[in-house]
Structure 1
Amino acid sequence: MPKAEVKIQGQSFLEKIKETLSQADVDDIFTARYENTADMLSTLRLAVKELKNKQKNSGFLIFPVDFPFVQAKTVQELIKCHKQNPDAIIRPVYQNKSGHPVLLPFLLNLEQDDKKQGLKYIIQNCGLPIFDVSVEDDGILKNINTKEDLELWMPKN
């Protein structure tokens, strides 16, 4: 089953993320689901091309579907920092560890050679400022790749 369809407390990961974005007052949501892309960077490249032709935003929030426990407040803090620094890369940091989602400026060139190392390489070598936003949200680090990850990170009632 694709990760986007995995359910937690009756909601798919994708539904949970969309709810989080809605709670953060984000109403311009684009879901990139390209089945034949090799990796996240390939998917991003296609999505950004499509978005740049349609929208006039200053950036885009990369919210991988396997981080469903991020809080709306974290998204709001990233957006606030982006508004003050629209040409910077904005990353959330919890206890000195960066996580997801990441807010990228539209001027970031995703087409540059990534030396087969992905988005992280492009970010580290693009020359744009990087702002780390300290958050009180361990959900930015909770990457769900297996059933065991989900059991480990699932909030206890």
Structure 2
Amino acid sequence: MKPSGDSTRFDEIVAIIPAAGKGSRYGMPKAEAKINGRTFLELVTETLHTAGIDRIITVTGIDTPDMLASIRVGVTRAKEEASAGIPIGGYLIFPVDHPLVQPETVISLCNCFRSHPETVIIPCYIGALSSLGVAKSVCHNMRHNRKSGHPIIIPASLDLDRQVTRGLSQIIHASRFPIVHIETHDANVIRNLNTPGDLGS
């Protein structure tokens, strides 16, 4: 899938923000939780726009039981909205409980997907060796044991309807698509905020 329009925008990628659930551990829906007066959902959405992604689907509501179900809902909505528009090359899955991921990290993921459109792109935290957020972003096949995180990008052609017991990860590893990891020093890719106490960690 070739990019269309402005090369600084990633029009071929649709972001899906799983933000469903009661947020019982947090004490409120995580989409409504705030950092410095701004909701998690606002922070994630701003990060996406800053990174060059304008096609965004947010899945909210407590009736969606898990992340895979939320992703499936988001994909269905994205396909409906894209039926007469720009084709979809991939989906960037950005859980709302990772609101501190840096735009530069998202850009690195999207650039890698643009170069490798039939792969699954996963950020891989390799340690805070600098204060620059993403000091190094390298596309490479996974060879080492690193700490994987979110957001991730999956090809639009990945079959999400497969019946599984362990969610999206099982679908990815059972698919024909290679997995490419992006090395990053952005620790926020592995920092999911499940409770208010996690903000201080």
After the TM superposition, which segments of 4 or more aligned residues of structure 1 sit over 4 Å from their partners?
none
Aligned residue pairs total: 151
2:74 partner letter: A
Q: What is the CA-CA distance between 1:25 and the residue it aligns to?
A: 1.6
**Structure with the higher fraction of residues in helix conformation:** 1
1:106 has 2:133 as partner: no
Q: What is the CA-CA distance between 1:34 and the residue it aligns to?
A: 4.0
CA distance in 2, matches of 1:143, 1:75: 16
Percentage identity across aligned positions?
42
CA distance in 2, matches of 1:105, 1:145: 28
The question of whether the paired residues in 2 share the 8 Å contact of 1:34 and 1:43 is answered with no
Matches within 5 A, 1:54-65: 54-55=81-82, 56-65=87-96
1:39 has 2:66 as partner: yes
Q: How large is the Cα RMSD of the aligned pairs? A: 1.0
> Structure 2 length normalisation: TM-score?
0.73
CA distance in 1, matches of 2:190, 2:169: 15
Counterpart of 2:4 in structure 1 is: none
Match of 2:114 among 51, 58, 83: 83
5+ residue gaps, structure 1, are: 153-157
1:101 partner letter: P
CA distance in 2, matches of 1:106, 1:53: 13
Q: What is the CA-CA distance between 1:150 and the residue it aligns to?
A: 1.7
CA distance in 2, matches of 1:74, 1:40: 22
CA distance in 2, matches of 1:107, 1:34: 26
CA distance in 1, matches of 2:79, 2:94: 18
Which has the higher Rg, Structure 1 or Structure 2?
A: 2
Matches within 5 A, 1:2-21: 2-21=29-48
5+ residue gaps, structure 2, are: 1-27, 127-145
CA distance in 1, matches of 2:197, 2:88: 38
CA distance in 1, matches of 2:46, 2:78: 21
Which segment is superposed worse, 60-69 or 30-39? Answer: 30-39
The question of whether the paired residues in 1 share the 8 Å contact of 2:57 and 2:77 is answered with no
Tell me the secondary structure at the aligned position of residue 91 of structure 2.
Answer: strand
1:27 has 2:65 as partner: no
Q: What is the CA-CA distance between 1:88 and the residue it aligns to?
A: 0.7
CA distance in 2, matches of 1:53, 1:22: 21
> Structure 1 length normalisation: TM-score?
0.92
CA distance in 1, matches of 2:119, 2:74: 20
